[in-house]
Structure 1
Amino acid sequence: MSDVDPGHATAAARGAAELDLDDAAAGLLRSRLPAVAEETVRAIVAEVPGYANALARPIGANIQGAVQLALGGFLSLASRPLAGDPATPLAPALDGAYALGRGEARSGRSMFALLAAYRVGARVAWRGLSATAVEAGLSPQTLSKFAELVFAYIDELSAASVAGHTDELATTGRVRERYLQQLGHGLLRGDPVDHLAALADRANWDPPGSLTVVVLPSSHVRAALGLLDQRSLRPEEELPDLDEDDAGSDLAVLLVPDADGPARAALLRTLRGQDAVVGPGRPWTSVRESYLRVLRARRLRVTAVGGAPVDTEQHLASLVVGADPAALADLRRQVLAPFADLRPATAERLVETLREWLLHQGRRDDVAAALHVHPQTVRYRMGHVRELFGERLDDSEVVLALTVALALP
């Protein structure tokens, strides 16, 4: 019996301290350990779907090693009650269980299969060990404590594996998130393709056929991400190319995979009510084009109605015309020069009428309806415009320049 205070030991260590296992029984158990380990491995491979056919794969050696280490650790604990640190006999087995949990996480497996393996292993190992313990002549009381020790030990191994699995996910998750952030920023900057491909590989991110940029308030990101492809990227902090207004606002950028073509309608429905602006789909390494398109739409104050997101594909003419604001201003001054000497109010009415006349291809009734005036008013105003422009209104190049100059209100 151990002189360790059971109150300061783990459940398994306390169980070992209370166990009266003589050298003969320990020797018999040790001699049967390889057979018990072999039977335990076979049962795990047969009964746990995640480890089916494992013996033919590299993981098979991991399972065999883990079972042998666990059983060896148990027997050391059971046959050598503690005189010092309660964790000493447990340490190698617990370290092995912790490493096993980390390995499962690195392999992309959840803890479900490993915990199932512990349950199966405990049942099969107990069956073999208990039969040997009875053969060794253990008393019913000692056998009962032996059973308690088996299951307390398995619980501690399971807890160590869960801790290893959790720690590995936390570590690899942080590293992967760092690479995903670098990838997202590289995509928005338009970094070289080989650099982007390397980042995608490091982040274990499977490149999609296309990416679509969505810009929306940060407060709406959580709701949106819950409905979008899990591969969606969200670059954060120091977003490139923002103007002063956007740089000071609480904006988020999402890069959504494979949301072009027929899938675009579903993306727009998903973003309804999220105050989003949606760029065009582009090959994933060219998504900067989609990003810049969205930023232009925001600068032009393109809007949608009824809670729908702004679909930049529905505002291409406005985006083209507004691509160079300085050039557009120069063009307006140039083509609207005939109005320069009029009173501002008169010039404004005539420019408004000319714009609707161009947009409605001279259909007087449609122009009047758009301006909420009588058709005769349209006739009078356009007569004045013709006086100012003369034959230039019959010149297709002049009409084109006027149409472009007046395309935006």
Structure 2
Amino acid sequence: MPRSSEGRDPGRVTGLDLDPRIVDALQASLPRYAELTVSAVTVEVPSYTRAFRGRMGRNIENAVRMALGALVQIAARPADSDQSSPLPAALDAAYELGRGEARNGRSMDALLAAYRVGARASWRAIANTAVEGGLPAATVARFAELAFAFIDELSAASSAGHADERATTGRVREHYLDQLGRHLLAGKPEEVLLASAERANWQPPATLTAVLLPLAQSRGLASRFTQSALQLTDDLPGIEAPGSHTVLLVPDMDGRKRADLLALLHDRPAIIGPARPWASVAASYQRALRTLDPLPATRTGPTDTEDHLVELILAADPEATADLRRRALAPLDDLRGTTADRLGETLRAWLLRQGQRDTVAADLFVHPQTVRYRMNQIREIYGDALADPRVVLELILALSAPGVGGTSGVPGAE
């Protein structure tokens, strides 16, 4: 990983050739300087109020002490010294400090604020020691310039480390989130999903809902949901055209919140699966996938799979549905095609409307007497079987089935 300190010892961070007595006084006071600096940062930067507890706190305090020690060493060196400078090592330490702060979730702004507060507090203490030791005013001014140039270099190195860690962590987490999404769609065992979620630093919600839609219609959609929503595009199970669709796994949009989800998707041709316990979201995705094929490509709004349960059930076993349809409608086989169609259409409406003749006539755009005539024909053909609840159920299913082939042109069957 690149570090801002490599090959650098900026000319503005050069020695002052301080009096050894002042150097000794400064070095003896390093623990106090570090303590004052840490205290000031703790008080003035809210993100660091509790940061100096435990091992991480000790690491930060040691880094402050080492940085101040490096500053004193640089100040003590003659300006033309050919000795190796402690600056590169200090910059490396600052870089690693920035990476550590990113891993601990503190922002770049908080880190830079800590540097500003710390620089002010530490310089106040260092200047007091230098003045008490008799350092001339002109040298104190040069010392201040050196100190703040040094702090600038350290803060720049820490910022680079923070940014690099965030970028690396972001890429790694994206990889793990993508892997988690694939495991969810594949229906992996819960122990596998829990391990995958832990690697991705992803807190499982109570439920997930699969939302399937064309990739071209997904722009800006993920931002409408919480950061824990997962989105996958490449190599989706059951999607033949690569890159044609995307799926969002949306957390906790079950119950009354489903209406909110539909409202958010009101202008998109999305297919919304059922809410399922998060580890079972593969079932939600599979239902959305099964709903995709029968839908027209020209749809403009969302499709709620909860509104298509009958069609999904009837399409679950096409061969069984075709067999049921052939058996239930076999009594109509001896009729001419157009007659069979008309009687089947009328029987379906009659069963669904529970025998309300006027309503059936309105649905079919015919006269009520026509409905009466057709139903008399049907009763002659089916006889007492129309009083059998099982036969009625089979007829409703057969006449409502999606296209499965056969001899009849009954609406809903072809």
- Normalising by the smaller structure, the TM-score range is 0.7 to 0.9
SS at match of 1:15: coil
Shift of 1:315: 2.1
Structure 2 CA distance for aligned equivalents of residues 219 and 337 of structure 1: 46
Structure 1 CA distance for aligned equivalents of residues 187 and 31 of structure 2: 60
Aligned to 1:144: 141
**Is 1:265 matched up with 2:259?**
yes
Aligned equivalent of 1:283, options 277, 287, 303:
277
Gaps of 5+ in 1: 1-8
Shift of 1:101: 1.2
- Cα separation, partners in 2 of 1:87 and 1:330, compared to 1, 3 Å: farther
- Cα separation, partners in 2 of 1:382 and 1:226, compared to 1, 3 Å: same
SS at match of 2:268: coil
Shift of 1:276: 0.9
How does 1:43-62 map onto structure 2 within 5 Å? 43-62=40-59
Aligned to 1:298: 292
Aligned equivalent of 1:221, options 214, 218, 232:
218
Aligned equivalent of 2:302, options 295, 306, 309:
309
**Matched residue type, 2:201:** N
**Is 1:238 matched up with 2:239?**
no
Aligned partners of 2:234 and 2:242 also within 8 Å? no
Aligned to 1:5: none
Structure 2 CA distance for aligned equivalents of residues 380 and 152 of structure 1: 100
SS at match of 1:213: strand
Structure 1 CA distance for aligned equivalents of residues 358 and 243 of structure 2: 44
**Matched residue type, 2:33:** V
**Is 1:345 matched up with 2:345?**
no
Aligned partners of 2:235 and 2:243 also within 8 Å? no
- Cα separation, partners in 2 of 1:249 and 1:14, compared to 1, 3 Å: closer
**Is 1:41 matched up with 2:59?**
no
Gaps of 5+ in 2: 1-6, 402-411
Aligned to 1:3: none
**Is 1:400 matched up with 2:393?**
yes
Aligned partners of 1:187 and 1:286 also within 8 Å? yes
**Is 1:252 matched up with 2:246?**
yes
Structure 2 CA distance for aligned equivalents of residues 152 and 368 of structure 1: 91
Report the more deviating stretch, 296-305 or 121-130.
296-305
- Cα separation, partners in 2 of 1:40 and 1:273, compared to 1, 3 Å: same
Q: Deviations over 1:347-397 (max 9, x none)?
A: 323222222112111211111111222222222333333333333323322
Report the more deviating stretch, 338-347 or 352-361.
338-347
Structure 1 CA distance for aligned equivalents of residues 296 and 389 of structure 2: 29
Aligned partners of 2:102 and 2:166 also within 8 Å? yes
Aligned to 1:364: 357
Aligned to 2:404: none
Shift of 1:251: 0.8
- Cα separation, partners in 2 of 1:359 and 1:155, compared to 1, 3 Å: same
Aligned partners of 1:224 and 1:274 also within 8 Å? no
Percent identity among equivalent residues? 54
Aligned partners of 1:322 and 1:328 also within 8 Å? yes
Aligned to 2:315: 322
Aligned partners of 2:94 and 2:157 also within 8 Å? yes
Shift of 1:176: 2.0
Aligned to 2:182: 185
The two structures have a TM-score, normalised by structure 1, of 0.88
Shift of 1:145: 2.8
Aligned equivalent of 1:203, options 181, 200, 205:
200
Shift of 1:83: 5.7
Aligned to 2:407: none
Structure 1 CA distance for aligned equivalents of residues 273 and 313 of structure 2: 14
Which structure shows the bigger proportion of residues in helix conformation? 1
Structure 2 CA distance for aligned equivalents of residues 21 and 262 of structure 1: 73
Shift of 1:57: 2.8
Shift of 1:234: 1.8
SS at match of 1:373: coil
The two structures have a TM-score, normalised by structure 2, of 0.87
